[in-house]
Amino acid sequence: MNLTITRPDDWHLHLRDGRAMADVVGATAAVFGRAVVMPNLRPPVTSVDQALDYRGRILAALPAGSVFEPLMTLYLTELTCLDEVPRARDAGFVGFKLYPAGATTNSDAGVTDFDRVAPVLEAMEACGLALLVHGEVTNPEVDIFDREKVFIDRVLAPLLRRHEGLRVVFEHVTTKDAVEFVQASSPRIGATITPQHLLLNRNDMLVGGVKPHHYCLPVLKREADRQALLAAATGADRRFFLGTDSAPHGRSTKENHCGCAGCYSAHAALALYAEVFDAAGALERLEGFASLHGADFYGLPRNRDRIRLVRDSWTVPESYPFGDDVVVPLRAGEEITWRVERVE
Ligand code: NCD
Ligand code: ZN
């Protein structure tokens, strides 16, 4: 059994920097035509100049012969200058990433007072840049499993009412609430879905011993949420598209008394999605989700080359090199039933 589709893009990816980046970027570039690269480095990528430098380092780290385009984003802070918005557009960037302060890995510089960024959001609306949102509140009194739902009610819904023309990507949706919110919104709201949130629920992280390599943010939710994500990803709604949120961390920082959030999936991302779509009897929908809907949402041309997926099991390595450490991938030491055979 095999399946040939338009080459996919990854609309949400963490590449890190330096030697660690050089160890992971090839896995994405081997399969995906483009990827939206997240700006949560330390320090964060907040200016066009910084992002152009980062883009240069990504291109320099690509394996020889790669055909891959990193799509850049800027990290939105309360200090972001209005001038940076048209500059970002002119540099060909896709948008700004909104992290509520403290929501996830390297997000301390994120936004606390959403009113303060309203002028920048208006400039983005005028320039046609997208706002990519990490949709969780960070208030300590809000339960971690409710943070996405509370974010919709307190932040996202008011923000969309205030900025009627702004294109927004609700990144890595994890709940039935988020799926229903996107479905009830206008076509200017899109959403990415990760492989881990389609494959796993919170039992897979917490039952029979804690699994640090299944810990990411937003945290895995209930089975009913997973089912809602699966229906959205494999359904006809073109606002849902692929974003792996592949977020590598060294093993020593994951298997730790205060372990980092993030699942590494770039080694097998498309194969994992293929497994999910296959199990749902929806392989014919994979191309839309992985290769067409995201490009259409961002108003970018679809890729013209194609790739082939083959239903053929392989065993995932226990780890991959990652700078001075190693990274433990999703499915480490276990089988995956699909693989990417070749890029035509
Ligand atoms: C991401 C990371 O490690 O950069 N972690 C994660 O759990 N997804 C940050 C993010 O996207 O939240
Ligand atoms: Zn992310």
Contact 253 CB / ligand 1 (< 6 Å): no
Average pLDDT over residues 269-288: 98
Q: Is 205 in the pocket of ligand 1 (CB under 6 A)?
A: no
Which among 245, 251, 260 is the best mutation to test ligand 1's pocket, defined by most ligand atoms within 8 Å of the CB? Answer: 245
Task: Judge whether residue 343 has pLDDT over 80.
Answer: no
- Rounded alpha-carbon distances, angstroms, from residue 218 to 80, 134, 160: 25, 8, 21
- Smallest-distance ligand from the CA of 247: 1
| Phi, psi torsion values for 270, nearest 5 degrees | -65, -35
pLDDT attached to residue 108: 81
**What is the set of active-site residues?**
245
34 touches ligand 1 (CB under 6 Å): no
Nearest atom in ligand 1 to the alpha carbon of residue 261 is 7
- Ligand 1 site, residue 17, Cβ cutoff 6 A: no
Query: Which residue carries 């949130």 as its tokens?
Result: 197
User: Are 228 and 175 contacting, i.e. CB atoms less than 8 angstroms apart?
Assistant: yes
Residue 3 Cα, ligand 1 centroid: separation in angstroms?
Answer: 31
pLDDT (tens digit per residue) in 143-199: 999 999 999 999 999 999 999 999 999 999 999 999 999 999 999 999 999 999 999
pLDDT at position 104 over 90: no
Q: How confident is the model at residue 33 (pLDDT cuts 50, 70, 90)?
A: very high
* Nearest-angstrom CA–CA distance, 295 and 302: 6
Give the residue from 24, 26, 55, 23 showing the smallest Cα distance to 38: 55
Distance from the first to the final alpha carbon of the chain: 18
Report long-range pairs for 277-284 (Cβ below 8 Å, ≥24 apart): 277/233, 277/234, 278/311, 278/337, 278/338, 280/230, 280/234, 282/234, 283/3
CA count, 13 A, side-chain hemisphere, 55 = 20
Average pLDDT, whole number, for the chain? 97
Q: Is 344 a residue whose pLDDT tops 70?
A: no
Omega prior to 218 cis, within 30 of 0: yes
Domains of the chain: 2-343 (3.20.20.140)
Q: 216 CA distance to ligand 2 centroid (A)?
A: 9
DSSP for 177-236 reads: HHHHHHHHS-TTEEEEE-HHHHH--THHHHTTS--GGG--SSPP--HHHHHHHHHHHTSS
**How far does residue 1's CA lie from ligand 1's centre (Å)?**
34
Check residues 110 and 53 and name the one with the higher pLDDT. Answer: 53
Cα 262 to averaged position of ligand 1 atoms, centre (Å): 5
* Among candidate residues 80, 178, 173, the one with its CA nearest the CA of residue 121: 80
Q: Which of 170, 215, 216, 256 to mutate to test the pocket of ligand 1 (most atoms within 8 A of CB)?
A: 216
Question: Looking at residue 24, what is its pLDDT?
Answer: 98
Cα separation, 257 vs 325, in Å, equals 17
Which of 14, 196, 220, 265 gets mutated to test ligand 1 (max ligand atoms within 8 A of its CB)? 14
Cα(139) to centroid(ligand 1), Å: 18
Report the atom number in ligand 1 closest to the C-alpha of 215.
7
Ligand 1 lined by 111 (C-beta under 6 Å): no
Q: How much of the chain exceeds pLDDT 70, in percent?
A: 99
pLDDT at 102: 86
